[in-house]
A = this chain, B = another copy of it.
């Protein structure tokens, strides 16, 4: 970027912002180059010890469809689940989520008690007529894209600061057998930063479900991604489901994508033993094994929970000032504007900014005309439709701090211009 940063002052207005000819894409939650540099050790040293696993297994060759044992154990330590209940996969937890839904559509999922040699598997979801997923909203657009592509109807439920509106969730799940699943991001939820309360997790685990094959798709993407001194955590949902007599209810997903390399890390699936056996049967015909060399690199570089937390503290040191800058600019520019609010996330990758109803789409458009690409308005809602046209997702991780500050200014002046166009009061 070549703009003069001095103009990012209180005198900035939309015209001046536009004249800066910024060229910045803030639409996705990508780590910055400096964050990726934190894992340089993955290149430098991780395979100096050779390509053999602890037990001598040659990681260059075929095999180990469920992942390298030590990669499963690392997942077990981080996710607090027995290693036998953890699958270590490729470079993307999104893939695991997509495939879990595709497998359920094509093969069905385990239900009820395991009966003798029988598998106790439900009919393929695809053969059960129209099915639906609950989608706490605002939520993660890539979750919703999977449902849309696979023909799964999405039912939006309101997202609150402590998780989804559980009265609404319980009523839908209890009454509607077509509701087969629900997307959950329990900690620092994308994009609102919500943290599921203990009671929310307990109710999700315990609630009666009309569909015996109902599943929580538990995307624990930001489990280690704290932005404050407090390391928030949510209850062990696998344990909670088992305790409530719904051992098969939850599929947990996590990855190291925003710990080491966003495009070249490893992902885990964790679940009950029967769910894991189901996954293994479905996946066994698909692959002879993941890239175990990359798993080995990660085991050697990330090592254990303490080392991971030290690494995450360095991520935080890079990320927290960017979120603080967004908040600071919004406070200066938007604090007194009626019907405008935003959150200050305690972790994760996003700030949610709420514009007065009817103004989000126009704000994104104005920012785009000035060269600042934001996540499309509505993206955080099923089918891309925010009926209020109010929500904006801000992803400040990738740009440099000064760019973030200027971008936040640009978002603010774009929003103010959108309000002016509609003749709305801006103070």
CB of A288 within 8 A of chain B?
Answer: yes
27 contacts between A and B (CB under 8 A): A30-B61, A30-B62, A31-B61, A33-B58, A36-B58, A39-B60, A59-B263, A60-B263, A61-B262, A62-B262, A62-B263, A90-B91, A90-B291, A92-B289, A94-B286, A95-B287, A98-B285, A98-B286, A102-B102, A102-B106, A142-B285, A146-B285, A148-B285, A261-B293, A263-B293, A264-B291, A291-B294
Q: How many copies does the complex hold?
A: 2
| Chain B residues whose C-beta falls within 8 Å of the C-beta of A59 in the assembled complex | 263-264
Cβ contact within 8 Å between A63 and B263: yes
CB of A207 within 8 A of chain B?
Answer: no
Cβ contact within 8 Å between A264 and B91: no
CB of A1 within 8 A of chain B?
Answer: no
Interface residues of A, Cβ cutoff 8 Å to B: 28, 30-31, 33, 36, 39, 43, 47, 51, 58-64, 90-92, 94-95, 98-99, 102, 105-107, 126, 142, 145-146, 148-151, 257, 261-264, 281-282, 284-294
Complex Cα spacing A43 to B50, Å: 9
| Chain B residues whose C-beta falls within 8 Å of the C-beta of A107 in the assembled complex | 149
| Chain B residues whose C-beta falls within 8 Å of the C-beta of A33 in the assembled complex | 58, 61
Determine the residue in chain B with the shortest Cβ distance to A31: B61
Cβ contact within 8 Å between B149 and A282: yes
| Chain B residues whose C-beta falls within 8 Å of the C-beta of A58 in the assembled complex | 33, 36
| Chain B residues whose C-beta falls within 8 Å of the C-beta of A292 in the assembled complex | 263-264
Cβ contact within 8 Å between B94 and A294: no
| Chain B residues whose C-beta falls within 8 Å of the C-beta of A36 in the assembled complex | 58, 60-61
Cβ contact within 8 Å between A150 and B291: no
Cβ contact within 8 Å between B60 and A285: no
| Chain B residues whose C-beta falls within 8 Å of the C-beta of A285 in the assembled complex | 98, 142, 145-146, 148-150
Determine the residue in chain B with the shortest Cβ distance to A51: B43
Best-buried of A28, A36, A288 by chain B (most CB within 10 Å): A288
| Chain B residues whose C-beta falls within 8 Å of the C-beta of A51 in the assembled complex | 43
Determine the residue in chain B with the shortest Cβ distance to A48: B43
Best-buried of A39, A61, A263, A287 by chain B (most CB within 10 Å): A263
| Chain B residues whose C-beta falls within 8 Å of the C-beta of A95 in the assembled complex | 286-287
Cβ contact within 8 Å between B94 and A261: no
| Chain B residues whose C-beta falls within 8 Å of the C-beta of A151 in the assembled complex | 106
Cβ contact within 8 Å between B291 and A263: yes
Cβ contact within 8 Å between B60 and A262: yes
| Chain B residues whose C-beta falls within 8 Å of the C-beta of A64 in the assembled complex | 263
Given B91, B262, B288, which contacts A92 in the complex, CB threshold below 8 Å?
A: B288
With A105-B106, A106-B105 in contact, is A60–B92 under 8 Å at CB? no
Cβ contact within 8 Å between B126 and A106: yes
With A61-B30, A92-B288, A106-B126 in contact, is A264–B98 under 8 Å at CB? no
| Chain B residues whose C-beta falls within 8 Å of the C-beta of A289 in the assembled complex | 92, 263
| Chain B residues whose C-beta falls within 8 Å of the C-beta of A149 in the assembled complex | 107, 281-282, 285
Nearest chain B CB to A23 CB, angstrom units? 15
Cβ contact within 8 Å between B106 and A287: no
Cβ contact within 8 Å between B291 and A291: yes
Given B148, B286, B293, which contacts A146 in the complex, CB threshold below 8 Å?
A: B286
| Chain B residues whose C-beta falls within 8 Å of the C-beta of A43 in the assembled complex | 47, 51
Complex Cα spacing A149 to B367, Å: 49
